[in-house]
Structure 1
Amino acid sequence: MLAINMADVISVIKSIAPQLIAIVTLFVAALVVMFITRKEKPAFRKLVRSLSWLIFGLGTVFCINLMLNGPLKTMITLATGRGVITESSLNDAKTLGEEISSEGIVLLKNDSALPIQKGSKINLFGWSSTNPLYGGTGSGGLNDSFPTVSLIEGLQNAGFEVNEELVKFYTDFRQTRPTVGMWGQDWTIPEPTIEQYNEANILENARNYSDKAIVVIARSGGEGADLPRSLDPNVEDTFVDGGTFGSKGIRYSDQKDDLDADKSYLELSNREIAMLDAVNKKFKNIVVIINASNPMELGFVNEYENISGVIWCPGVGQTGFNALGKILDGEVNPSGKTSDIFVYDLKNTPSYNNFGNFNYTNMDEFAVEDRGTSYNPSFVNYVEGIYVGYRFYETAAKENAINYAGYVQYPFGYGLSYTVFTKEMGEIVANDGNISIDVLVTNTGNTAGKDVVQLYYNPPYTNGGIEKASTNLVGFAKTKLLQPGDSQTVKITFAVEDMASFDEKIKKAYVLEAGVYEISLQEDSHNILDTRTFPVEEDILYGETNKRSSDMEVATNKLDDMRGNFTVLSRKDQFANLDEALKPPTDFELPADKKAAFLNNSNYDGKNFDIESDEMPKTNAGNKIKLVDLRGLDYDDEAWNSLLDNLSFEDMSKLVALGGYQTTTIGKIGKVQTVDCDGPSSINNNFTKKGSIGLPATIMLANTFNTDLAHSFGENIGNMASQMEVSGWYAPAMNTHRSAFAGRNFEYFSEDPLLAGKIASEAVKGAADYGVYAYIKHFALNDQETNRNYQLMTWADEQTVREIYLRPFEICVKKGKAKAVMSAFNHYGITPASASNEVLNKILRDEWGFRGMVLTDYFGAGGYGYMNADRGIRNGNDFCLTAIDAGYNYVKDKSATSMMALRKASHNILYTTVNSRAYAPENLDLGMMRWQVATIMIDIICVIAALLLAIKAWKNYGKRKALERSEAPIDTVGTDTSVADVDVIEENKNIDNE
């Protein structure tokens, strides 16, 4: 999230402007003194000038100190961070990264091509074989401080020999991967022309080298931009600036033959097709490796008769390609499952027409400027409702609305193995509101391996009633490594209430409708192995007198204002409104009533929302209590009031304002600075540029379906963070894969909320084992990069929001005990996610029982026109992700309402940080940072030196004055100078030299 942004640079300069002005003023004053004393007697002139420059020097030192210990203190402290990761921890991370990849790489197709005999000679085709992808870009990128195991090295480490002529051919063609990042987008798909292959006789030479061919296809993605849906840059809406980190610099290189308007970035390019055509003619048993985190259109693998093996290998981190080599030679049996569905035509996905750039035409007065361009508020309609990913395809097929086989290539939860497993489903055991089912898994093949057990439920559906998908993941588990003939009984338990649906129209609550619930053991989202039934005799309403057991307060309608003016896809009458619901938007005007209520920084005034009954809280009480004394106490312990009474308005405003990559200090209560860092798969200190080993992309972690590995992932991150003296981790990110074209899908987990929530929860708990609080993000519905911080209004019905988009976060709060949240850039309807009382207070805190702190996403200069600390704290967002005065991140309103909100925000921040690793006895350091000690020492030296120089100047002045008084009368003849005068001049020179 951190990048050099000119607006931020200007904000920094503004913050130190008073000190810079003072330095310039002192300098000008010294020059003025030089000028006005030019005719004074030498002794006086020398004294005044010397003292003026001493004052300038001391004043400059004083001003620099004010800058360093004032506006720049946070950034300097962050930039001088300490901590080193031990070699042992780095080695553990390398091993874990390989283990995650070994269980997250998915075997999609295998017609006897795999495994390949160890030691074989291999031809690697495709430019990406020499320049693969290890993860994504932006805040989720890997730290380049550590070497990566390349794809070629991974194969070589497994014992394969690689055709070096092919390697040289590709590296000579191009050495570096195009930039797809926060500052620019080059969507070039580097691949030589078939003429270049033929001119170098590459294919014939390769066939002579070996009969084994592996083709590597890769697609990049990252923060700041969504993937283009057309490879022709002249097509409208190919790419829209994704926000402050996006760029207008879109490139497609000079590969004009690849600029095909009818193809998206997630299809094969013309050059890739030509290469595959040629390879298919020369080789049998071709293996294709898809090195991409976004599901591509892979129908081509069925069109080439010689493609007999396909592997999906998302970002592997810095060591994961070793696992790929071991899977290719059979040392490791693949056990990964798809965390997203793979379809033949991405243009036919439910969200396709309502994903991307849609701007309001009647909101000009609320437009914001970014790098010289004006952006009107934008919007996105979640027309598909709850039917996201596999939920749509399975349900639509059940209703005969689509031909499943013609739409879906690889279901959700799909993945092949080198061995064979059988699964036997036990009977349902219902007890205390939970359902448990034992599944006996047996390896009946000839190779050791792991497998995934998946349970789905199909609820009873009434035509025209509450929307329900026919297939819903309700539980999963990964087996241990099973040798041939071995068995393991896996128990999966889930709450009956987890099968309830949210009825926003009639009951306005979760309802478990009467009927028969089918609970199926499945190979994936489509293929059923066995089924049991669970009858519910009558409707169960989770209302005022019977809230869900996991809720602190009853869940009821709170998001009516998010429902937009569009048709939502419905299962009614076999998806009769399919074509109507999924068409592109036609209304580009925000309704008048919504526009009248719309607020951004141009018209927001917190005082208009002050509450008369609010009472001014105590401040500056002077109680002796310190923050460390409250470690381990309950959030509602009375001692908190004593501590909070000590804070001043300035203390609280600073705590709220400066939350960028840290929580700031408050000396009077012993509040130390805690450091927070980026990185969903690593720890990246944006200020020191220090970082950790990069683990695989989180989509790879989701593919493992292994919660134990997810916990180890979190532990490893937490351990490395603690060694770097980092207490907060800006991750895990768990926004939903609504579209395959979303730029940050690599760092989000899945299209399924249960899989995302359970994997993320374990990562949160693992980090917490080391006292590191994880900021679950981006809360919520930040599912596209396009216009993400250009006042993007997200419109969806409440059932959709709760069941699909809030669900992973809900699981992380309830099961993972998350203590920190990062709110999102986008809006819920007309309300910023960072200022939504309904979501941040009523749902997150009141319903789910969250106790912790909420941080904004990156708080750019001016708050992007809508982010505002005063508005945030009044509605549940506690502090701002910036280390500078960015405008609107400092609260200035001192009304009782504002002060109470500041107090609560401070409580949330202090509660979270005091219970983190920062306040563990072995880590607690209430002293000053080393750089601050250094500045004090420099100050002392400067003051002493200035005093000595001032004393010396005064003594010299006395000597000069004495000489001037002792001057003899000067007798001059013509231009001769008297002997006495010469003596005075010489003496003054000697004093000056001193």
Structure 2
Amino acid sequence: MKKNFFKVISLALVLSMLVSNFAFATSGDVDPEIIAETSETAIQIESEGIVLLKNEDNFLPLSNKKVNIFGAGSVCPFFGGAGSGAITTDDPVTLYEAFEAEGIEYNSELRALYEKHCLSNELPKTDNTVINNLLQVLLAKNTLEEMNPKYLTDALLENAVKFSDTAIIVISRTSAEGTDHTVETLSLSDDEKAMVEKVTSAFENVVVLFNIGNVMEMGWINEYESIKAAAIIWIPGEFGMTAVPQMLDGKVNPSGKLTDTITYSIDDHPSSECFGSNKYNGGEHFVEYYEGIYIGYRYFETFAKEKVQYPFGYGLSYTRFEKEVVSTEFDSENITVEVKVTNTGDIAGKEVVQIYYSAPYTEGGIEKSAICLGGFAKTDMLDPGESETLTISFKTDDMASYDYKVNEAWVLEKGTYKIIVANDVRNHIADYDYEISETKIIKNDPVTGTEIENLFEDIYSGYEIMSRADVEGTYPELRELDKDDYLIDIDKTPDPIKDGEAPKMGVKYDKTITLQDVAEDESLWDAFLDQLTLDEMTMLVINGGYETHGVERLGIPHTMDNDGPSSVKGRNGLVYTDSGTAYPCATAIGCTWNVDLAYEMGEGAGKEAADMGTDTWYAPGANIHRNPRGGRNFEYFSEDPIVSGIMAAEIIKGANSQSLVTTIKHFALNDQESHRNGIFTWCDEQAMREIYLKAFEIPVKEAQPKGIMSAYNRIGTKWCGSSSALLKELLREEWGFEGFVVSDYSSNFTGSGYMSPVLAVYNGNDTILTGMWSLQALQHKAAVKLAYAKDPVGFGNALREACKNLCIMKIETKAFKNPEITYDSSLIGSLDTFDDWDFEFPYVFTFIRFVFNNILNVVIYAFRFIL
């Protein structure tokens, strides 16, 4: 059955590609010297991202260089996730290869047994890289099928114990775009439990390695005396596995710290009450953020410390560090702490210093968690006895809370603030009081000066928000709701504007004004834009799927874009054949707490992209780990917006240095995968601004990216790409963003309604990531032209602004700065083929293809979990 299904799915994929007009030309391999450089960065990220959770009696580093390795993940671990965060590599460094390189001997009988098991459960492969890439996206699962424990016979275990008294258990999970985890998939399966029982009973010394993209339930590692050590090695990318045995034998001293809270039970997260599949009476899915600001450590450190197994910021080392506060300086502008870190142990290592604050809370007032991260820094490698002084500083106003009820502003309330120097959110070294004598209302953005006001009152749906004043009485409880009470004015097009002037189009000057002219003299913007015709403007805003259209006569380059956060990919969208280094997942990057490594990753991606001809990178991801079950948590950094925002900013700065445009994604509140296409998302404005938007605000202001990707979900009743409050009032006017906004992958075939180019353009989403260009081109073009005909003033000026935003982005690309670089665009989707057709026939033609592809998608997803 599997073979027949594989033939069907392969044929379907080929047909899908034929009707989708993807380009197949490649731009060559990345320079080996660049790969050598980026692979070293990847290994270093893994080295510093590994989090050592447990190390009883200093069992690690290993004294015995012979080990037995158990678990299906020992042979077929997850190197990446599925979807945009997937990686493509034919030759990743395997765990066994890494052990061999490090000189650690392993039990070959066990390896052979697990290889046989994994061979019977691996995904099908063809000789075609394109097909393999798509099969990985469509068919990958987020759990491994563990070998039946009956094969771990008494005789096999006896031989294994004779080989070595040390066993390593590998537990593997990945995650996938489009689907979330369940509590069950983030717990041990029955076969895994049985395997753990057998191994822990047979061996005196057991080490557990978690090859995971999401934190999972781990309470069981404390239930067995023989489990001496445990570490999270994450999903390590193409080269990261190299660092794992080096960590085990001490060549690498682990310095990773958790960027998530690990609880004994995932259900203890208050967000679990409304996460995943919740449906209105009458249809349509929704999610309500009942917990408000109280997610992750903000909840557990305020209300439920006893439910935490490993706190936020936690991570062990093989050495010891002494921390001494050298100086503090607190004033109305900045909170600054200098901390001297000394390695008092016997092994060289790195250490992180974390600074938290605790703001004064008034019962019934603005909600505040008991503690919040303010800043952090990491030392260089310190030899035994060596010291380094770190300076950590953040703005005093960063301790303000958003008051959406009274002031519609950030409020820094008077009272005593505790500034806490810490090893993690719970293990404090020193704390200091800072007194603020008068309440400060911050009514204007400190960067742009724009007046701050509530922008998202319409996306709070009236539910009771968790409150510190009465946590039991306000603890989340899923509501039963009627669709008709909430879903009003969905996907509504604005009324035409009667007053004002339509923009000029197609103006011809004696001398053409090019984009290069504008780059050298910004006063020429208006005259430059006047030259664009309606057809040219239309193509610019609708042809944004893995590329953005160009206008050669005006010097506007055609640019090439691709995913994703784990590795920059070459041209040709989903069917890319070139790829840069596959890095460890974003959570591992976050757990390094090393901003220099994040910068190096972005810089390396920029160099690789230049070799592959990629101008725009759909990365990094800045969404929040609202719940451990989030299907794309591995693409994001943390449950905390400060870590998330700072890491995203550094990656962007690195990419900027190489003229690689980034699009931070997915803006905003796209914190689950279940029903993400159009799910109605409701959140109070305090939680939005302090948690979910903050992770985007930091990189927008600190790194000045030229791209943002809007999200699939709706905020309230408006698709993110049609929310002017999000994309205009907040992003551009309040934060000062300059660049383009691209939608997420779109399968809108009609050109109207949800994810339509018309709604997008009206509301500040500048182009559509058209996923199936030849299926969408005619309808999108017709929709844009019809919108202009109906509203030449309102829509016409919005269209002009979108084109300007796209050009602002293009000025920063290699395609613009190095126009001598060319590419084969012969297979890039174009409307030219259809320009002379009568529109009625193409509508029928496209409808047939629309039906075919929807049937295809149903078939693919119905069988997704068969293999």
Q: TM-score, normalised by structure 1?
A: 0.77
Matched, 1:554 2:451: yes
Tell me the distance in 2 between the aligned counterparts of 1:671 and 1:886: 23
- Residues 151-190 of structure 1 correspond to what in structure 2 (within 5 A)? 151-175=95-119, 182-184=137-139, 186=141, 189-190=144-145
Q: 2:551 aligns with which of 651, 662, 666?
A: 666
CA deviation after TM superposition for structure 1 residue 347, in Å: 1.2
Matched, 1:786 2:681: no
- Tell me which amino acid in the other structure corresponds to 2:341: V
Tell me the distance in 2 between the aligned counterparts of 1:868 and 1:805: 25
CA deviation after TM superposition for structure 1 residue 437, in Å: 1.0
Q: 1:275 aligns with which of 186, 189, 195?
A: 195
CA deviation after TM superposition for structure 1 residue 694, in Å: 0.5
Partner in structure 1 of residue 237 of structure 2: 317
| The 10-residue stretch of structure 1 (270-279 or 745-754) with the greater mean CA deviation from structure 2 | 270-279
- Tell me which amino acid in the other structure corresponds to 1:151: L
CA deviation after TM superposition for structure 1 residue 280, in Å: 1.4
Specify the SS of the correspondent of 1:174. helix
- Residues 934-945 of structure 1 correspond to what in structure 2 (within 5 A)? none
C-alpha distance after superposition, 1:566-592 (max 9, x if no partner): 11111114x2424xx31222224341x
CA deviation after TM superposition for structure 1 residue 121, in Å: 1.0
Partner in structure 1 of residue 91 of structure 2: 147
C-alpha distance after superposition, 1:739-788 (max 9, x if no partner): 11111111111100000000110000100100011000000111111000
Matched, 1:648 2:533: yes
Specify the SS of the correspondent of 2:626. coil
Specify the SS of the correspondent of 1:428. strand
Matched, 1:213 2:167: yes
| The 10-residue stretch of structure 1 (133-142 or 423-432) with the greater mean CA deviation from structure 2 | 423-432
CA deviation after TM superposition for structure 1 residue 899, in Å: 1.1
- Residues 80-95 of structure 1 correspond to what in structure 2 (within 5 A)? 80-95=25-40
| The 10-residue stretch of structure 1 (727-736 or 675-684) with the greater mean CA deviation from structure 2 | 675-684
Q: TM-score, normalised by structure 2?
A: 0.88
C-alpha distance after superposition, 1:958-994 (max 9, x if no partner): xxxxxxxxxxxxxxxxxxxxxxxxxxxxxxxxxxxxx
CA deviation after TM superposition for structure 1 residue 212, in Å: 1.1
CA deviation after TM superposition for structure 1 residue 817, in Å: 0.9
Matched, 1:823 2:768: no
C-alpha distance after superposition, 1:856-907 (max 9, x if no partner): 0001142795111111111110000014452653312222211111100000
Q: How many residues align?
A: 796
| The 10-residue stretch of structure 1 (739-748 or 175-184) with the greater mean CA deviation from structure 2 | 175-184
C-alpha distance after superposition, 1:208-237 (max 9, x if no partner): 1111111111112111111133xxxxxxxx
Tell me the distance in 1 between the aligned counterparts of 2:104 and 2:518: 55
Q: 1:925 aligns with which of 809, 817, 820?
A: 820
Tell me the distance in 1 between the aligned counterparts of 2:255 and 2:120: 32
Equivalent pair of 1:334/1:416 in contact (CA under 8 Å): yes
Matched, 1:609 2:563: no
Partner in structure 2 of residue 259 of structure 1: none
Matched, 1:196 2:151: yes
Partner in structure 2 of residue 19 of structure 1: none
Matched, 1:886 2:776: yes
C-alpha distance after superposition, 1:471-499 (max 9, x if no partner): 10110011000111111110011111100
Q: 1:512 aligns with which of 406, 412, 415?
A: 412
Partner in structure 2 of residue 395 of structure 1: 302
Partner in structure 1 of residue 368 of structure 2: 468
Equivalent pair of 2:590/2:644 in contact (CA under 8 Å): yes
Relative distance call for 1:859 and 1:380 in structure 2 (3 A) is same
Equivalent pair of 1:113/1:285 in contact (CA under 8 Å): no
Tell me the distance in 1 between the aligned counterparts of 2:294 and 2:394: 22
CA deviation after TM superposition for structure 1 residue 338, in Å: 0.5
Partner in structure 1 of residue 261 of structure 2: 341
Relative distance call for 1:926 and 1:751 in structure 2 (3 A) is closer
Tell me the distance in 2 between the aligned counterparts of 1:598 and 1:7: 33
Identity, % of aligned positions: 37
Tell me the distance in 1 between the aligned counterparts of 2:452 and 2:15: 44
Tell me the distance in 1 between the aligned counterparts of 2:514 and 2:747: 30
- Tell me which amino acid in the other structure corresponds to 2:479: P
Relative distance call for 1:522 and 1:103 in structure 2 (3 A) is same
- Residues 886-925 of structure 1 correspond to what in structure 2 (within 5 A)? 886=776, 889-890=780-781, 891-892=784-785, 893-894=787-788, 895-920=792-817, 923-925=818-820
Partner in structure 2 of residue 595 of structure 1: 487
CA deviation after TM superposition for structure 1 residue 595, in Å: 3.1
Matched, 1:698 2:698: no
C-alpha distance after superposition, 1:70-107 (max 9, x if no partner): xx5xx44xx32424310100111111111000000000
Partner in structure 2 of residue 69 of structure 1: none
- Residues 512-911 of structure 1 correspond to what in structure 2 (within 5 A)? 512-543=412-443, 547-573=444-470, 575-578=471-474, 581-591=475-485, 594-599=486-491, 604=492, 606=493, 609-623=495-509, 624-630=511-517, 632-633=519-520, 637-685=522-570, 686=573, 687-789=575-677, 791-862=678-749, 866-882=754-770, 883-886=773-776, 889-890=780-781, 891-892=784-785, 893-894=787-788, 895-911=792-808
Matched, 1:441 2:341: yes
- Tell me which amino acid in the other structure corresponds to 1:571: R
Gaps of 5+ in 1: 16-71, 230-263, 363-375, 397-401, 936-994
Partner in structure 1 of residue 80 of structure 2: 135
Equivalent pair of 1:335/1:417 in contact (CA under 8 Å): yes
Partner in structure 2 of residue 955 of structure 1: none
C-alpha distance after superposition, 1:288-320 (max 9, x if no partner): 001111111110011001101000111111111
Equivalent pair of 1:102/1:334 in contact (CA under 8 Å): yes
- Residues 2-17 of structure 1 correspond to what in structure 2 (within 5 A)? none
Equivalent pair of 1:114/1:329 in contact (CA under 8 Å): no
| The 10-residue stretch of structure 1 (716-725 or 865-874) with the greater mean CA deviation from structure 2 | 865-874
Equivalent pair of 1:718/1:766 in contact (CA under 8 Å): yes
- Tell me which amino acid in the other structure corresponds to 1:587: L
Specify the SS of the correspondent of 2:153. helix
Relative distance call for 1:425 and 1:177 in structure 2 (3 A) is farther
Larger radius of gyration: 1
Tell me the distance in 2 between the aligned counterparts of 1:8 and 1:802: 44
CA deviation after TM superposition for structure 1 residue 115, in Å: 2.7
CA deviation after TM superposition for structure 1 residue 616, in Å: 1.1
Equivalent pair of 1:859/1:886 in contact (CA under 8 Å): no
Equivalent pair of 1:7/1:861 in contact (CA under 8 Å): no
Equivalent pair of 1:414/1:524 in contact (CA under 8 Å): yes
C-alpha distance after superposition, 1:238-266 (max 9, x if no partner): xxxxxxxxxxxxxxxxxxxxxxxxxx111
CA deviation after TM superposition for structure 1 residue 184, in Å: 3.9
Tell me the distance in 1 between the aligned counterparts of 2:106 and 2:14: 48
- Tell me which amino acid in the other structure corresponds to 2:506: N
Equivalent pair of 1:131/1:176 in contact (CA under 8 Å): no
Partner in structure 2 of residue 237 of structure 1: none
| The 10-residue stretch of structure 1 (742-751 or 267-276) with the greater mean CA deviation from structure 2 | 267-276
Gaps of 5+ in 2: 1-8, 124-134, 831-867
Relative distance call for 1:442 and 1:926 in structure 2 (3 A) is closer
